[in-house]
Amino acid sequence: MSEFVRFVNHGASLISPTIVEQVMRQLPVWKAEFAQIHAPSYPHLVDQLEFLADVVEDCFEGAYKDLPYFAMAESLFALMYAHKKIDIIPDAILQIGRADDSSVVRAVLIQNEKAFRKYAKSTNVNWKKITSNP
């Protein structure tokens, strides 16, 4: 997992306010796209992506102000990565195509678990449904 953590941290460090604004304009479409993911090997992935999208939206809109900026940047990076059509493992490969997406998302959730638990509690989201377990 340490390689994915470094990858996520580096990617998040490149997130600028301009990138945040660009992604926010596209996020509703991405959320609909994420809802269509069929990845039985990664049963929590869709819920995790939806959770991260909600976190980013709430932070951007000012509805939630207690999340550290780097946690939001990592969340945004994970959403951008999951949306990409070309990534480490092509999504079209059955059984393992979403393994890299899941690993990136899990790295974000694990690194920011305390802050995300607090967000989940404040928004009445069942954290166990979002679990960072594989």
What tokens were used for 45?
Answer: 């992935």
Q: What is the pLDDT along the chain (134 residues), one digit of tens a residue?
A: 588 899 999 999 999 999 999 999 999 999 999 999 888 888 899 999 999 999 999 999 999 999 999 999 999 999 999 998 777 776 766 777 788 899 999 999 999 999 999 999 999 999 988 975 55
Contact 13, 73 (CB under 8 A): yes
Q: Where are the domains of the chain?
A: 2-36+43-124
Please give the model's pTM, rounded to 2 decimal places. 0.92
| Residue 112 CB coordination number (10 Å) | 22
Helix (H) or strand (E) holding 32: helix 17-35
DSSP 56-72: HHHHHHTS---S-HHHH
